[in-house]
């Protein structure tokens, strides 16, 4: 999704620069640039909403894990007896002396 947003921004900037350099910024060109800007703003809004929802899911799962609850990630039950939570990578890492030792499960797999 990020690549799409970057691509859309590049197109809008490119079109605007083309019309400015061409020195032909007519009413039709202004409408085209305005439509592209509206599309960009809508795309950014959708992306932000998706990211907010994912962040809320992350917080809910992390909170449940920290409270000692068991989290279901696919066919694996994640709990503090068998896993540690690593905040920088948002992942669960299997504890030593368990069958999950060294196994890394990213929080996104638990949605």
Question: Where do the domains of the chain lie?
Answer: 1-67, 69-111
Q: ∠ at Cα 62 (101, 77), nearest 5°? A: 45
Provide the pLDDT for residue 103. 93
Around 31, how many Cα atoms within 13 Å sit in the side-chain half-sphere? 3
User: pLDDT below 50 — which residues of the chain?
Assistant: none
Provide the pLDDT for residue 23. 67
Nearest to 110 by CA among 93, 91, 84: 91
In percent, the amount of the chain with pLDDT more than 90 equals 50
Provide the pLDDT for residue 26. 77
17-52 burial string, b = 16+ CB within 10 Å, else e? eebeeeeeeeeebeeebeebeeeeeeeeeeeeeeee
Nearest to 54 by CA among 8, 104, 90: 90
What is the spatial distance between Cα 44 and Cα 39, in angstroms, rounded to a whole number? 9
What is the spatial distance between Cα 50 and Cα 60, in angstroms, rounded to a whole number? 16
42: DSSP letter: H
The pTM score is 0.67
């Amino acid at each position: 999704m990020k690549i799409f947003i970057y691509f859309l921004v590049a197109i809008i900037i490119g079109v605007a620069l083309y019309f400015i350099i061409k020195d032909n910024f007519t009413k039709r060109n202004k409408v085209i640039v305005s439509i592209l800007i509206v599309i960009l703003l809508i795309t950014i809004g959708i992306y932000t909403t998706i990211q907010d929802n994912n962040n809320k899911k992350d917080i809910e799962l992390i909170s449940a894990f920290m409270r000692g609850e068991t989290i279901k990630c696919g066919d694996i039950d994640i709990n503090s007896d068998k896993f540690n939570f690593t905040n920088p990578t948002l992942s669960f890492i299997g504890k030593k002396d368990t069958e999950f030792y060294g196994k890394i499960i990213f929080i996104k797999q638990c949605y």
